[in-house]
Amino acid sequence: MGVTILNPFASPMFLPSVATLGGLLGAALALLCVAERRHLGELRHRTLFRRWATWLTIGPIYALAIFGGEATTLLLIGALVLQGLREYATLVGLPPPYRRVLVSTGLLGVGVAQVSREAFSTLLPLLLIFATLQPLLTRERQTGIRHLAFAVLGFGYLPWLLAHFLWLSREVAGGPGILLAIGLAVACSDVGAFLFGRRFGHRKLAPAISPNKTWAGLAGNVLGAYVGLGLMGFGLPEAQRPLLLATLPLVVALGAVWGDLLESALKRELGVKDTGCWLPGMGGLLDRIDSLILTVPLAYYYLRVVV
């Protein structure tokens, strides 16, 4: 199956998206300048400004990848899988042979997922069967099975879950616009959780897993998801727009909190604070996309089964 390449500037959603993202980023910068007014001379060195600058970069990249059609969407997911698996392999301590196999099979999986969901489903058991050979051939008596288990988890966590990105775009009516709206909803939910948690957070949500998560942050997460999806509501299919505006933010909020807690549990298990320093002010790529990793599959099945 071939992949389509579209002119992103010809999309009817391009100008409304530019206006929405530009307005949000401009408003965020103005608020940041007010909050950091005592440090304007060194604003570019402040953590919050570095985070804003990172959003300024990744927001347009995400939108242009969606507008560019299947080819650019596939390129985006391939890049997320590549860097995400590199960070994951370092996080769990996979030795070089396992890292190389995991990254190569992960990229292979993304390519097959683009061809068809059925082909991807056929590939999964074959990869698992051949994966069991690695600890046998390397003759690792003490750590081989552990490395295999972490490698299999990594494949399921990134290539498999992110493959739903491709399927949602292709198999759901209005998929690209929905992905655009979900992207902003996830971003706003994360920002809302941060702001509400910082201002009102007292009661811990899951102290054993993530001490910084609070019930107030959860409320901000839900509110942010509604705001983000509402601002990008023009990307939703017109016939289902009222229903999706009412219900999809709850799916986004659930996926965002779930994904964030899952990554926090993994990092706490391994005694790591951040998965890397790839994104200024935000840590590693996994620290940024952990919410998206579970939100997109949940949205895909919700849209296919419920809507």
Q: What pLDDT, in 10s, does the model give residues 126-143?
A: 999 999 999 888 877 778
Taking only Cα atoms into account, the Rg of the chain, rounded to an integer number of angstroms, comes to: 20
pLDDT digits (tens, 9 = 90+) for 45-84: 888 889 999 999 999 999 999 999 999 999 999 999 999 9
Closest CA to 67 of 115, 29, 21: 21
Q: Tokens for 110?
A: 């993304």
pLDDT beyond 90 at 282:
no
Q: Tokens for 175?
A: 């998929």
Cβ distance 60 to 25 under 8 Å? no
pLDDT digits (tens, 9 = 90+) for 10-27: 999 999 999 999 999 999
Phi, psi of 212 (to 5 degrees): -85, -10
Give residue for tokens 């996080």.
Answer: 91
Q: Where are the alpha helices (DSSP H) in 68-143?
A: 70-92, 96-115, 117-131, 133-138
Closest CA to 106 of 126, 128, 78, 132: 78
Rounded to 5°, angle at Cα 142 from 141 and 147: 100
pLDDT digits (tens, 9 = 90+) for 249-277: 999 999 999 999 999 999 888 888 777 78
Distance of CA 75 to the CA centre of its chain: 15
Give residue for tokens 């320093």.
Answer: 277
The reported pLDDT for the residue numbered 35 is 82
Cβ distance 265 to 206 under 8 Å? no
Contacts of 141 (CB under 8 A, 6+ apart): none
CA–CA distance from 140 to each of 3, 127, 146, 247 (Å)? 42, 20, 10, 49
pLDDT beyond 60 at 212:
yes
Phi, psi of 116 (to 5 degrees): -170, 155
**Spatial separation of the C-alpha atoms in residues 237 and 307, rounded to whole Å:** 11
Across the range 122-126, mean pLDDT stands at 94
**Spatial separation of the C-alpha atoms in residues 172 and 7, rounded to whole Å:** 21
**Spatial separation of the C-alpha atoms in residues 274 and 267, rounded to whole Å:** 8
HSE value, Cβ hemisphere, 13 Å, CA-based, for 236 = 26
Phi, psi of 211 (to 5 degrees): -60, -20
- Element counts in the chain: helices (H) and strands (E): 12, 2
Cβ distance 294 to 258 under 8 Å? yes
